[in-house]
Amino acid sequence: MPLDTDFTLVLAVRMAIAAAFVLAATITAERAGPLVGGLIATLPLSAGPAYVFLALDHGAAFIAHSAVNSLAINCVNVIYALTYARLAQTRSVGVSIGIGLVVWVTLALIVHAIAWTLLSAILLNIVIEATCIVLARPLRHVTIPRLETRWTDYAVRATLVALLVGTTVTASFHIGAEGSGILAVFPIILISVQFILHRRVGGRASAAVMANAVTGLVGLALACVVLHETAEPLGSAIGLSLTLATSMAWGLLVYGLRKRGFDI
């Protein structure tokens, strides 16, 4: 069997596994409110599978290096989520996502042009996250009506995530560790949630999920730091496991504090 055919089959399997993983997680998110929805949407549901496959193809050093750029681009995701949340109060889904993506691409190009260190990326996250959390706080508390989810909604999300994983794995052979780190955390989950929720429950309710996602993305930043620090000394498998655990632990911490009245 030709090598290209082998690669295509393996890639298709990887895309299907990633899509199934994300689908299972987002079904749970749909049955919760803005807080849980926002926290689950910012788990590394698409970045995690993408990084697993990058590790299989390129090794621990590659993903450790990529994690620094993922950490820097996390700030762009935070700004994107806040931009959408603000626009969605009065604008259509197309305008809100469209302008948000223009902002994302512009800032991502700037981030890609900078040689990031772990320290500089951490400092950038502290400044951006702290500012955006304050700005997003008034938009968090909106009730989302319970609606029946259509199978087409699941199909859209599964397709988007599968395409992201396929693109990341294929492009990683050409764009290097820095580019792969950026592409791996492209906000495909946030976009799919916005696209579906905005049309079904309205802009303000969808924006509330994104406003909570701003806080949730702190967990992704912490996860990127853990991946960078652990992938090489402990191996890719342990590093990626600790990365997921870190993101989940942050979500549980935020949920617990909110339930006790702390509006972080």
Nearest-CA neighbor of 242 among 225, 254, 218?
Answer: 225
| Domain assignment present for 78 | yes
**pLDDT score, position 2:** 45
CA–CA dist 247, 250 (Å, integer): 5
**pLDDT score, position 186:** 80
| Domain assignment present for 264 | no
User: pLDDT confidence of 137, banded at 50, 70, 90?
Assistant: very high
Nearest-CA neighbor of 251 among 15, 84, 63, 32?
Answer: 32
| Domain assignment present for 136 | yes
The number of distinct structural domains making up the chain is 1
Domain assignment of residue 221, given as a range: 3-259
Buried b / exposed e along 9-33 (16+ C-beta atoms within 10 A): eebeebbeebbebbbeebeebbeeb
Assess whether pLDDT exceeds 60 at residue 237.
yes
* Residues 165-212: tens digit of each pLDDT: 677 667 666 666 666 667 777 887 788 788 878 888 889 999 999 999
